[in-house]
Structure 1
Amino acid sequence: MNIFRLAGDMTHLFSVLVLLLKIHTIKSCAGISLKTQELYAVVFATRYLDIFSDFISLYNTIMKLIFLGSSFSIVWYMRHHKIVRRSYNKDQDTFRHFFLVLPCFLLALLIHEKFTFKEVMWTFSVFLEAVAILPQLVLLQRTRNIDNLTGQYVFLLGAYRGLYILNWIYRYFTERHFVHWIPWISGIVQTLLYADFFYYYLDSWKSNKRLQLPA
């Protein structure tokens, strides 16, 4: 494992910890899109179908369990915890996220490396992860004023994907025959979706102002 992969994994893990901190400590999910969290739960559930059948390493298994458990617990808290769900911006979180699922699944049926159940589901999870952030970005655009923890959560998610691109570049030049077009293209698309948010996040950080997106 290279430094970019490790940094990407840790950044992804920190993003989850920031969100869990907000939900468990502040008892608030204001500014967080339940639609995006549900999509991430689907992403991890379909990506880690091999968790009990193909052992890669203890690190790999632990990370899979963390992301599976945290994604479903976040969805549960936002849907069922009495205090947390009161802060949910339901009227503004109206992106029809299920319309993202079918196109990603059909694309996975058409474009994949091997036509097996696990491979198609893995490819589907890669395509879906690329667009899963859209409901969250739309919600932030509507609420405009973004608290620090929500801003940090979204920034860390974007940074994780950016670090993974550096990981792929490193592996391309250091490993023979390392070519994986499906995650590469999906990862680039996903990172580009964050571009506007990154600009305003870094601008607010430099000027020490509250993060605010334009209408």
Structure 2
Amino acid sequence: MNIFRFLGDMTHLFSILVLLLKIYATQSCSGISLKTQELYAMVFVARYLDLFTEYISLYNSLMKLVFIVSSLAIVWCMRARPSVRHSYDKDLDTFRHYILVACSFALALLVHEKFTIKEVLWAFSIYLEAVAILPQLVLVQRSGNVDNLTVQYVFFLGAYRAFYVLHWIYRYFTEKYYGRWISWVSGLVQTALYADFFYYYFISWKNNAKLQLPA
């Protein structure tokens, strides 16, 4: 494992910890898109169905388990925990995420490396992850002014994908490892979606001001 892969995993894990901290410490999910959290739960369940059938390493298995359990726990809190769900910005979180699910699944059926249930679900998870952040970015934009923990959550989630792109580039130059082109394309698309957010994030950080995205 190279440093970029490790940093990618750690920033991804840290983004989840920041989100859980926000929910449990403030008993609020204001500024968080339930639609994005549901999409990520689908991504992890679809991708890690091999958790109990294939073993790569203890680290690999633990990370898969953490991502599945944490994503489902976040969705449960936002939907079923009375002290949290009352703060959900339902009127702002109106992105039609089912369209993303339908398009990702249709694309997975058409574009995959092998027509098996496992491979189609893997491709579906890759395509869906590439666009899963859209409802969250739209919610942040509509809110205009969001709290610091929500901003940090989105930032670390974007940093995770950026580190993974660096991981693939590093492996290409050091191991001549090409990987799966589906992951490359989807990863680049996902990173590009964060470009606007990163720009305004660094502007606010430079000016020591609160992040505000243009409507």
TM over 0.5, yes or no? yes
The CA deviation string for residues 44-75 of structure 1, in whole angstroms up to 9 with x for no partner, is 00000100000000000000000000000000
Aligned to 1:110: 110
Letter aligned with residue 110 of structure 2: L
What does the per-residue CA deviation read over 1:58-108, in whole Å, with 9 as the maximum and x for residues that have no partner?
000000000000000000000011111111100110001001111111111
* Letter in structure 2 aligned against 1:44: F
- 2:201 corresponds to which residue? 201
Q: What RMSD, in angstroms, separates the aligned Cα atoms of the two structures?
A: 0.7
Cα offset, 1:179, TM superposition: 3.4
Distance 1:13 1:127 in 2: 20
The residue number in structure 1 matching 2:95 is 95
Query: What is the rounded CA distance, in whole Å, between the counterparts of 1:210 and 1:187 in structure 2?
Result: 28
**Residue of structure 2 equivalent to 1:7:** 7
Partner of 2:45: 45
Map 1:162-173 onto structure 2 (within 5 A): 162-173=162-173
Distance 1:176 1:197 in 2: 32
Task: Tell me, in whole angstroms, the C-alpha distance in 2 between the residues paired with 1:110 and 1:38.
Answer: 24
CA–CA distance in 2 between the matches of 1:155 and 1:146?
A: 13
Corresponding residue of 2:157: 157
Which stretch of the first structure deviates more once superposed, 171-180 or 46-55? 171-180
Q: Which amino acid aligns with 2:60?
A: N
Question: In structure 2, what is the Cα distance between the partners aligned to 1:199 and 1:47?
Answer: 31
User: What is the number of residues matched between the two proteins?
Assistant: 215
Q: Which secondary structure does the structure 2 equivalent of 1:198 belong to?
A: helix
Task: Name the structure 1 match of 2:125.
Answer: 125
Structure 2: 5+ residue runs without aligned partners? none
CA distance in 2, matches of 1:104, 1:205: 35
Amino acid at match of 1:146: V
Report the 3-state secondary structure (helix = DSSP H, G, I; strand = E; otherwise coil) of the residue aligned with 1:50: helix
Secondary structure class of the residue paired with 1:108: helix
Whether the 8 Å contact between 2:33 and 2:136 is mirrored in structure 1 is: yes
Secondary structure of 2:49's counterpart equals: coil
TM-score, normalized by length of structure 1?
0.98
Counterpart of 1:31 in structure 2: which amino acid?
G
| Deviation digits for residues 101-134 of structure 1 (CA, Å, limit 9, x no counterpart) | 1111111111111111101100100000000000
Runs of 4+, deviation exceeding 6 Å: none
Look up the equivalent residue of 1:118 and give its one-letter code: K
CA distance in 1 between partners of 2:13 and 2:118 (Å) = 24
Alpha-carbon distance in 2 for matches of 1:134, 1:176:
33
**What pairs up with 1:126-145 in 2 under 5 angstroms?**
126-145=126-145
Correspondence for 1:174: 174
Q: Is the 8 A contact 2:171 2:177 kept in 1?
A: no
Q: Which moved more, 1:54-63 or 1:179-188?
A: 179-188
1:178, distance to aligned residue in structure 2 (A)? 2.5
What is the percent sequence identity of the aligned residues?
Answer: 69
Letter in 2 for 1:36: T
